[in-house]
Amino acid sequence: MSDKPVVWVGTPFILNFDDPMEIFQPLVEEGLEVRLDECRGYMPEEDVIAALPDVTAVIAGAEPYTAKVMDNAPEVRFIVRAGVGLNNVDIPAATERGILVANSAGQNSQSVAEHLFGLLLCAVRRIGWLDVNIRKGLWREIQPPMRPLNGMTMGILGFGNIGKQVAKRAVAFDMNVIAHDVVQDEETANALGVRFVSLEELARESDYLTCHVPLTPETTHIINREILSLMKPDAYVFNTSRGPVFDLDAVTEALQEGVIRGAGIDVFPEEPPDYSHPVFALENAVLAPHLGGRGEDAIRNTLHHATRCVLAYFRGERPSTLVNPEAYGVRGR
């Protein structure tokens, strides 16, 4: 057991730095002990429990923080997710146990927006397919028509930090931009020329529909057979948010049957995914292993932010991106 408060850093963020402790030096200077996960991959629940017996604060990756984990981590008082999504953290369970939880909202939004356009261009311009085939010695045989971005309609499902970054880039491509969100930032939308529409209108009007929503009961399978049936047959759909936002079976069927023309998918219902799923056999789907927020700048920004949140917690200050302030009133932990 350490005689200093312990901060544990989960997977997989430290893989990107030659000297990961450089990022966490402010914590060391504050008198904290920093432990880096050595798993180098996804951790099951039992491995997380084994890592946390004397840990006070956690910089969380994608590993699970369930009620069971929290019950077996008696010293944990603060969890900050090095990312935006919190679907791997049981927020109600944390609140019931007086554990404060924060995320890193806004730190990787530009990286995800850039990744989305990478997927979009690969899907529309068929860059991966062209690369594979030119290496086989083909030339004229691999020059298909390619749909433009200019003048097309970008539909953005979720007009938060990431959605706004996507809108800025779409405007730069001379695209028309529409959006759907339960919270409408009219000021930003007006400045960018974005028009808010219903979900059904978003599906009908979009040439390219991209998802940037958190995973909630309301957004689970929000892109489903009904929504896909409203779309243009030459439309594309993209998901860089959370896997269950897509009904992957429905999207796959829509791609197979020509209901839509193409897709770009960076996230899956289960990760790592089931590689036997038929989506992996489709040429009109561009796939990536959940890397949208993993730009070098985004990882560094996210970890710096998480470090600042940990420092704020130990200094008795309120972390800037706290999501469950009601946990402050819970005693007994």
Nearest to 10 by CA among 33, 43, 32: 43
Catalytic one among 257, 271, 296, 326? Answer: 271
Nearest to 180 by CA among 199, 200, 154: 199
Q: Is there a catalytic annotation at residue 242? A: yes
Distance between CA atoms of 6 and 33, rounded to whole angstroms? 5
Distance between CA atoms of 297 and 226, rounded to whole angstroms? 38
Q: Is there a catalytic annotation at residue 225? A: no
Catalytic one among 180, 242, 305, 308? Answer: 242
Q: Is there a catalytic annotation at residue 271? A: yes
Alpha-carbon separation of residue 303 from 35, 69, 136, 276, 308 (angstroms): 14, 23, 42, 34, 9
Catalytic one among 204, 290, 300, 333? Answer: 290
Instruction: Tell me which amino acid residue 276 is.
Output: S
Distance between CA atoms of 112 and 241, rounded to whole angstroms? 9
Q: What is the DSSP string of 5-18?
A: -EEEE-SSGGGG-S
Burial class (CB in 10 A: 0-12, 13-18, 19+), 19: exposed
Catalytic residues: 242, 271, 290
